[in-house]
C-alpha cells in the first residue's frame, strides 16, 4: 500500500499550484451548495475537478469521494481516496489560510479511519506546504511550483511538542456544559490560535503543541466536521506525530461513518489534553 499512497500524495502535491491559480477568480459564490449544505465558491468546484481528474486517473485507485460530491465515484480497482478539496474555502474571501485534506483507505468507502494507510494535508499560506503521514512518521514539505506542477522540497519531520496553543470552533454559546468547563481550563493555560480553516488550526497544533476542537454542540451533537474527509485523515496525521484524537469518547480512527458525509465532533492534540477533554465532556 505504500506505493499507491506515495503516488496519491505526489499527485495531490502536483495539483496544488493549479488549485491555487484558481483563487484569484474563484472568490465568488456560484449559487449552489455542496451535499453538506454549504455554499460553493467557484474555487471549491475547480479544486474538486482538478483533484478528481488527477486522482481517478491513477492505477490502483478504485474510489474517489469528495466533500463536494454526493456519492462515491467508482473508478476501478484499488484504494479509496477521500478529499476535502478546499478546506476553509470561505477564508479566500478575506485572503486567509485554506488548504486540502486527503486520506487513502484500504476498504470500501465509507469506512473507519483505522482503514487509513496514509493521510495528509496542504496549507496555502505565506508558503505552500504539504504535511504527509504514512503511519510511521509525519513529514512537512515546502511545495515548489515547477512549471505549474508542485514538487516536494525542504523535508522536515514533525512531532507534536509540549502544549502552547488552542483553537475551539462552534461558538461558546453553542457548547455543552462539559466542553465549556474544559475550555475554561485550557483558556487559562494556553494561547488562542484560531483561523477558521481546520488545516491551519491543526497545523498550529502540530508545530506548537496544544489542542484543536470543533466539539459536539447544543442541538448538533455530531458537530460540523465530516468524519471521512476531515476528522479521520487529520486524526491519522496527529496520532502518527505522537498526539491523540477523540470524538469525545474514543479515537476518531475508531468512529464508523454510516455515510460519506457523516459528521463528528473533532478533538486533536497532545494526549494529555485529549485525556482531560474526555474526562470533562458530557
Query: Which of 137, 157, 177 finishes a domain?
Result: 157
Query: Once rounded to an integer, what is the mean pLDDT over residues 112-133?
Result: 98
| Distances in whole angstroms, Cα of residue 234 to Cα of each of 76, 90, 152, 252 | 26, 20, 20, 9
- Supply the range of the domain harboring residue 39: 2-157
Among 239, 267, 257, 243, smallest CA distance to 178 is for: 267
Give the contacts of 164 (CB within 8 A, at least 6 positions apart). Answer: 190, 191, 208, 209, 210
Same domain, 99 and 190: no
Count of CB atoms within 10 A of residue 142's CB? 15
Same domain, 22 and 40: yes
The pLDDT-based confidence of 1 (bands split at 50, 70, 90) is: low
> Is residue 38's pLDDT more than 90?
no
Same domain, 88 and 170: no
Count of CB atoms within 10 A of residue 216's CB? 26
For residue range 58-93, what is the model confidence (pLDDT) as tens digits? 999 999 999 999 999 999 999 999 999 999 998 998
- Contact between 251 and 278 under an 8 Å Cβ cutoff? The reply is no
Cα separation of 233 and 121, whole Å? 8
Does the predicted TM-score (pTM) go above 0.85?
Answer: yes
Cα separation of 69 and 82, whole Å? 11
Same domain, 176 and 268: yes
Amino acid at each position: 500500500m505504500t506505493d499507491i499512497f506515495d503516488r496519491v500524495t505526489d499527485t495531490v502535491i502536483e495539483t496544488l499550484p493549479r488549485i491555487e491559480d484558481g483563487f484569484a477568480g474563484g472568490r465568488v459564490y456560484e449559487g449552489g451548495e455542496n451535499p453538506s449544505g454549504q455554499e460553493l465558491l467557484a474555487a471549491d468546484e475547480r479544486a474538486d475537478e482538478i483533484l478528481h481528474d488527477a486522482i481517478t486517473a491513477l492505477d490502483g485507485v478504485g474510489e474517489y469521494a469528495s466533500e463536494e460530491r454526493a456519492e462515491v465515484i467508482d473508478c476501478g480497482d484499488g484504494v479509496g481516496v477521500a478529499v476535502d478539496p478546499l478546506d476553509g474555502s470561505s477564508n479566500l474571501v478575506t485572503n486567509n489560510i485554506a488548504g486540502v485534506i486527503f486520506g487513502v483507505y484500504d476498504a470500501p468507502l465509507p469506512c473507519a479511519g483505522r482503514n487509513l494507510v496514509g493521510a495528509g494535508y496542504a496549507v496555502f499560506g505565506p508558503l505552500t506546504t504539504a504535511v504527509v503521514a504514512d503511519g510511521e512518521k509525519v513529514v512537512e514539505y515546502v511545495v515548489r511550483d515547477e512549471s505549474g506542477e508542485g514538487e516536494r522540497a525542504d523535508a522536515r519531520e514533525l512531532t507534536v511538542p509540549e502544549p502552547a496553543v488552542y483553537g475551539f470552533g462552534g461558538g461558546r454559546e453553542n457548547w455543552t456544559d462539559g466542553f465549556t468547563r474544559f475550555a475554561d481550563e485550557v483558556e487559562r493555560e494556553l494561547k488562542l490560535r484560531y483561523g477558521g480553516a481546520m488545516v491551519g488550526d491543526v497545523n498550529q497544533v502540530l508545530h506548537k503543541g496544544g489542542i484543536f476542537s470543533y466539539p459536539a454542540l447544543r442541538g448538533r451533537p455530531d458537530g460540523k466536521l465530516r468524519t471521512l474527509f476531515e476528522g479521520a485523515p487529520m486524526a491519522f496525521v496527529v496520532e502518527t506525530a505522537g498526539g491523540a484524537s477523540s470524538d469525545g469518547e474514543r479515537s476518531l480512527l475508531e468512529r464508523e461513518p454510516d455515510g460519506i458525509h457523516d459528521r463528528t465532533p473533532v478533538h486533536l492534540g497532545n494526549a494529555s489534553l485529549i485525556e482531560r477533554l474526555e474526562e470533562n465532556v458530557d
